[in-house]
């Protein structure tokens, strides 16, 4: 079952399946959010603030609406 990255529970890992077409698609892919890569949600800020994802050896923060563009498969 596919979800989006903003639905990943904290400390859970998922595999990126695709990036939804949007003006931000290229930016997300340039940051390294590519199909086949695994991401882990490390932290979420309160009240809908940014979400911190680990991608390889890097921690990247995304807004909730940006994370909702990344379709993932949970383990």
Confidence at residue 22, expressed as pLDDT on a 0 to 100 scale:
97
Q: Is the pLDDT of residue 18 over 80?
A: yes
Confidence at residue 1, expressed as pLDDT on a 0 to 100 scale:
74
- pTM for the whole structure: 0.94
Confidence at residue 17, expressed as pLDDT on a 0 to 100 scale:
98
Q: What is the pLDDT of residues 53-70, one digit of tens each?
A: 999 999 999 999 999 999
Q: Please answer whether residues 41 and 52 qualify as being in contact, where contact means their C-beta atoms are separated by less than 8 angstroms.
A: yes
Q: Is the pLDDT of residue 75 over 90?
A: no
Residue 73: which of 15, 4, 34, 9 has the closest Cα? 15
Confidence at residue 57, expressed as pLDDT on a 0 to 100 scale:
94
Count of C-beta atoms within a 10 Å radius of residue 24 = 18
């Amino acid at each position: 079952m596919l979800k989006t990255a903003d639905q990943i529970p904290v400390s859970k890992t998922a595999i990126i399946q695709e990036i939804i077409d949007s003006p931000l698609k290229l930016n997300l892919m340039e940051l390294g959010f590519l199909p086949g890569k695994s991401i882990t949600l490390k932290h979420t800020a309160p009240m809908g603030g940014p979400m911190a994802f680990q991608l390889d050896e890097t921690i990247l923060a995304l807004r909730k609406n940006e994370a909702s563009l990344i379709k993932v498969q949970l383990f």
